[in-house]
Amino acid sequence: MGVGCWRNPLLLLAALVLTARLGHFQRWEGFQEKPMSKTNMNSTLQFLMESYNNASNDTYLFQVDKLLRSQMQLTTGVEYMVTVKISRTKCKRNSTSNSCPIQSKKKLKKVCGGSHLS
């Protein structure tokens, strides 16, 4: 077995070092500030608000008032994390309206965060 058993691991190590030096090896470094495509942004915010409204006991629906921060992380897919300001709308839970104006009371606004894997 001598020297022959070490050849394959050394070749593998050399290939990994070469790949890393050439920039083809990407580490997962956690969430980073990255711009999100409009399609991914819309699906992420829709998922966030559906989840929030389904978990809420409030009579009225909430919607995104302002996007405060968006981040992205590469894992087995792409995970997005957003921080948004949400506000209570004038639409009740059973409403089918696509246009829900925001209620004017400031005390009903919240900052909310969530993540979505796509």
Give me the mean pLDDT over the 23-27 stretch.
49
The matching CATH number, chosen from 3.10.450.10, 3.30.70.20, 2.40.50.140, 3.30.9.10, for 27-117 is 3.10.450.10
Percent of the chain beyond pLDDT 70? Answer: 64
Domain coordinates in residue numbering, the chain: 27-117
What does each C-alpha distance from 20 to 6, 7, 17, 30 come to in angstroms? 21, 20, 5, 19
Distance CA 35, CA 32 (A): 10
Contact (CB, 8 A) for 10 and 50: no
In this predicted model, what pLDDT tens digit does every residue of 68-100 receive, in sequence order? 888 888 777 778 888 888 888 999 988 887 888
Contact (CB, 8 A) for 52 and 112: yes
Tokens of 36: 């999100």
pTM attached to this predicted model: 0.62
pLDDT at 7 over 80: no
